[in-house]
Amino acid sequence: MRIAITRQISPAINQCELTHIARETIDYKRACAQHKQYEDALRSLGIDIISLEAEPALPDSVFVEDVALVLDECAIMLNPGASSRRPEVASVEKALAPYRDVFRIRPPGTVDGGDILRVGKTVYVGLSSRSTENAIEQIKAILEPRNYEVRAVNVTGCLHLKSAVTRVSENTLLINPGWVSKGDFPGMQFIEVDPAEPYAANAVLVDGTLIYPSSFSKTRAKLERAGINMLIVDADELAKAEGAVTCCSLIFEF
């Protein structure tokens, strides 16, 4: 059984944290409609949705991925880099607790889930404005006894590691090489985003199907030529909150 934890969009979404992009007005109703389309896409792939209620006082709380890392063996509740986001952790931990043993990242370490990319038993963690070496050492202490390798990756020019690179097939990463180095991912194959679409590297891979945003037609064409099976969703409103499709769910098996 596969489960995705999602959360409805806060009506305060226009007060979201921003780091690398200019603030634009987010159409709340349109964002909610797009989020429903995203949840429906997950359901169409056989995933059961646990949809948490919106948090009116937490503008970024739709981005549930940033507060937890869920693996087969355990869940790690993270300590987000933006202090305004730390109150998001408790409700997600409550939702995860029936399914996983829970560990926690403690201060002074900070890390966002958007900076964590898992490929098999390798966990890549981005060193970004939100995630620190101290947090990576804590993740290593939890995961290395469970036979994971944890690798730090330098990230420049974007918010999170998964703004720059995500997995699109078993051995292939979609990457913006201007923001992260291919050399940090030995043994992998790569598809580069179209240079005109720097934010096009974020996608959700579920059982050989890629949930991918409709906004990036040039990169989408590259993926099609590579034989990648895609399910296209509209996600441009939450992109104004520096969010992407991976950010909006925590997917795991039970």
The residues assigned a catalytic role are 160, 247
Instruction: Kindly provide the residue ranges of all beta strands, DSSP E only, lying in 17-119, ordered along the sequence.
Output: 47-52, 68-70, 75-77, 102-104, 116-119
**CA atoms 64, 170, 215, 127: torsion sign:** positive
Q: What CA–CA distance (Å, rounded) separates 134 from 136?
A: 5
219-222's contacts with Cβ under 8 Å and 24+ in sequence apart are 219/174, 219/193, 219/194, 222/191, 222/192, 222/193, 222/194
Edge-first strand order for the sheet with 47-52 is: 47-52, 2-7, 250-253
Q: What CA–CA distance (Å, rounded) separates 76 from 94?
A: 12
Q: What CA–CA distance (Å, rounded) separates 190 from 184?
A: 12
Q: What CA–CA distance (Å, rounded) separates 241 from 126?
A: 20
**What count of residues does the chain have?**
254
- The neighbouring-strand residues paired with 102 are 75
Q: What CA–CA distance (Å, rounded) separates 86 from 53?
A: 17
